[in-house]
Structure 1
Amino acid sequence: MKETSRKRRHHLRVPVLPEEKIQIAQQAKQAGMSVARYLREVGQGYQIKGVTDYQRVRELARINGDLGRLGGLLKLWLTDDVRTAAFGPETIHRLLARIEATQDQMTLVMRTIVRPQADQ
Structure 2
Amino acid sequence: MSSEEKKKIKRRDFTPICVYCTPEEKESIKEMASQAGLPVSEYLRRLGLLYRPTSVMDYQKVDDLLKVAADMGRLGGLLKWWLSGEAPVLQTREGRQIRMNESTMRTLLARVDTTNRMLQQLSRQILDLKKNEKITGAQE
Bigger share in strand? 2
The equivalent residue for 1:69 is 74
Equivalent residue, structure 2, for 1:112: 125
Q: Which of the numbers 93, 98, 104 marks the counterpart of 2:111? A: 98
Deviation of 1:37 (Å): 2.9
Q: Specify which of 41, 44, 62 is matched with residue 12 of structure 1.
A: 41
User: Does the CA contact (< 8 Å) of 2:87 and 2:100 recur in 1?
Assistant: no
Partner Cα distance (1:81, 1:92) in 2? 14
Give 3-state SS (helix, strand or coil) of 1:81's partner: coil
Structure 1 residue runs of 5 or longer lacking an equivalent are: 1-5, 14-34, 43-47
Once the two structures are superposed, the pairs formed by residues 46-85 of structure 1 within 5 Å of their partners are 53-84=58-89
SS at match of 2:78: helix
1:88: how far off? 1.1
Question: 1:64-88: CA deviations, max 9, x gaps?
Answer: 1111111111111011004449311
CA distance in 2, matches of 1:95, 1:36: 54
How many residues align structurally?
86
Query: What is the alpha-carbon distance in structure 1 between the residues aligned to residue 46 and residue 127 of structure 2?
Result: 26
Equivalent residue of 2:33, what SS?
coil
Q: Partner of 1:101: helix, strand, or coil?
A: helix
TM-score, L = length of structure 1 = 0.58
Larger-gyration structure (1/2): 2
| Other-structure match for 2:47 | 37
Aligned CA distance change for structure 1 residues 91 and 65 (closer, same or farther; 3 Å) = same
What runs of 5+ residues in structure 2 fail to find an aligned partner? 1-30, 91-98, 134-140
Higher share of residues assigned helix: 2
Question: Could you tell me how far apart the structure 2 residues matched to 1:72 and 1:8 are?
Answer: 58
1:18 corresponds to: none
Question: Partners of 1:60 and 1:36 in 2: how far apart?
Answer: 35
Secondary structure at the aligned position of 1:12 is classed as helix
- Give the root-mean-square deviation of aligned CA atoms: 3.1
Rounded Cα–Cα distance in structure 2 between residues aligned with 1:82 and 1:109: 32
